[in-house]
Chain A
Amino acid sequence: MSTNGTENIIEVRGLVNQFGKQRVHDSLDLDVHRGEVLGVVGGSGTGKSVLLRTIIGLNRPREGRITVLGIDARKTGRESEELLRRWGVLFQDGALFSSLTVAENIAVPIKEHTDLPGDVIQEICYLKIGLVGLPSDAGPKYPSQLSGGMRKRAGLARALALDPDILFLDEPTAGLDPIGAADFDMLIRDLQQSLGLTVFMVTHDLDSLVSITDRIAVLIDKKCKVGTIHELLQDQHPWIKEYFHGPRGRAAQKE
């Protein structure tokens, strides 16, 4: 699959992350292909969020090289600024700026990176609100006035504000009810297809993994094992077996 001309949009090579004496990642390699949805799973403490934070530059790795869209992610200056425009990040609870309304939140990256007139920015903000399935009256509301699911959608709208190439999601369905989670999965899938996004998704939700990911990266033994769900189902590693063949794993695959 990776040899038939797919382009690697993210390349991680020899990544080492260490906190104190605890080594979280040890020469970890990972490729993300353009246009795919990659799910990242792993037990707690295996550094899923650390991996995400390292790729988007919030955590400096001890060693290793990370290339995103052909740009070395550790570089600073104009190139890294270019990167900021081309990825969007949805944090766990949306991480919306609490002093701004939803529409203003979405406008923040647009105002920062373009010089569009105010009414156009406003209209694009509301377009994003519509794209993520929020009602228009959510625009002037403050994050504290929204439910958890709506906050996630608003966060997604902000992540999509600049029409990025890559979307990073940190546990997008955590804390949502099953119906809300399934809706959110479908929304991500839908947007991924119509906007041509590459999605890097840290998740614990087996339903999301089964229904929307193309490939799954399992963080295990400080490294990373990547495959489609069918490949991973054949895997003999005890943790992977436990994960996909446990009761929850089986239930998710039945659908």
Chain B
Amino acid sequence: MERRTPRGLGGRNTNEATGRMAPESGWIEGRHERDTLVFSIGGAWNMHALARLLREVRAAIPSRATLGGRTRARIDLANVSVLDSSGAWLVADTKRRLDALGLKTEIVVGRAADRALLDRVDKALTRIGVLSKPARARPILAALGNIGRIVVEAGQKGHELLSFFGLSVILIARAFAKPWRIQMKATFKHIETTGLNALPIVGLLNFLIGMVVAFMGAVQLKKFGAEIFTVNLVGVAVLRELGVLITAILIAGRSGSAFTAQIGTMKVNQEIDAMQTIGLNPVEVLVLPRILAMMITLPLLTFYADMMGLAGGALMATLSLEISLDAFLRQLHDAVDLSTFLIGILKAPFCAYIIALVGCFEGMQVAGSAESVGTRTTMAVVEAIFLVIVFDALVAIGLSILGI
């Protein structure tokens, strides 16, 4: 096969930096020949000079008013020394603009290679088609459209999450019927990572929250000389709401996100597909142990968090209110009863279910690239925290209606 000589003199040409012979830079020159508008172009028509050439060419193209009855145009490439695809694009673009003015435009080429390149570029441009101009922005319509899209998407997601919930319930029921099928090893591993390893951070945060509540209450109640009721405030707030809520939010950020990332990565690596071909049910193998582990862990963590919160409150009370530990415990005994504690701790397994379910659900939704793992993880945390707080609020409303 015969090989064309390489295009132009590119190598000897374009290097100003090394002080080699610089190429003749690209130029365009317009003139008239009777009814014909002639553009002679020459020099290096390449990407390097494109920005400048573009301005010069656009300035050289006449408007309809200055056309003056000419009906033809010619673009003469005889003097071109270097032509690359962006240069060829500019030639094609110029022809298009001249055609649009109603001129019959022809292109005269010196070298066969340039003709071939122009044809190729023309072909590519035709294949792509004339670029459709982006639709004019209509901000109000776009905003309405966005709102609609978000609502529909939220509805779809709710629907999918609900069916995933149904699936998990069926699988849990089946697991209790055949308990030996539960992956004990994986379950214990998740109990360790979501529970045991979270003890320091959960303890510290709840201790601090207990202190803050005690301090705030003390400042307000002191005005009425009712400092002792700080103990009631700490007791009820921590046991009933804050212990479980703080812990659940923390675990959603810490372990719910981890669930999504783990399962999502497996999805990207096609591990989930591999499981299915082997005959393993990915939901049973991956999701069930995580849900079980979370439902075991979160109530235990909540109890621990309650104790740490009360300890923080007690410390603050002894330090700033001069309520002795003895008095604190006596007052606490009067202030809270078993139901207060139970309301808090019984919310924990439900929160655990929500967090694990959302985390695993988003993990299973990962598709395509590693980037999707990141987006889904963010979504999992936001949705889990949102649902936990909504659940907590619903319980609070329900209990107040019941008068408990």
- Chain A residues near B (Cβ < 8 Å): 7, 9, 34-35, 69-71, 78-79, 82, 85-86, 98-99, 110, 114-117, 120, 122-124, 126-131, 135-136, 143-145, 160, 162-163, 165, 193-196, 198, 214
Contacts and interface: CB of A to CB of B under 8 A. Distances in A.
A142 B57 CA distance: 34
A7 B50 contact: no
Nearest to B124: A130
B124 A131 contact: yes
B368 A195 contact: no
A163 B11 contact: no
B8 interface: yes
A98 B371 contact: yes
Contacts of B120: 131, 194
B371 A195 contact: no
B6 A127 contact: no
Given A82-B17, A194-B117, 9 more contacts: A7-B11, A69-B11, A78-B17, A126-B128, A131-B85, A136-B128, A160-B85, A163-B84, A198-B6
Nearest to B89: A127
A110 B85 CA distance: 13
A38 B42 CA distance: 32
A126 B369 contact: no
Contacts of B15: 69-71, 82
Interface of B: 3-8, 10-12, 14-15, 17-18, 20, 46-48, 50-51, 54, 84-87, 89, 93, 113, 116-117, 120-121, 123-125, 127-129, 131, 367-372
Interface of B is mostly: helix
A42 B38 CA distance: 55
B51 A115 contact: yes
Nearest to A110: B47
Contacts of B84: 163, 195-196
24 contacts: A7-B12, A69-B15, A70-B18, A71-B17, A98-B369, A114-B47, A114-B50, A120-B50, A122-B131, A123-B89, A126-B128, A127-B89, A130-B123, A131-B85, A131-B124, A136-B129, A144-B371, A144-B372, A163-B87, A165-B10, A196-B6, A196-B8, A196-B113, A198-B6
B125 to A, nearest CB: 6
A69 B47 CA distance: 17
B367 to A, nearest CB: 8
Contacts of A127: 85-86, 89, 121, 124-125, 128
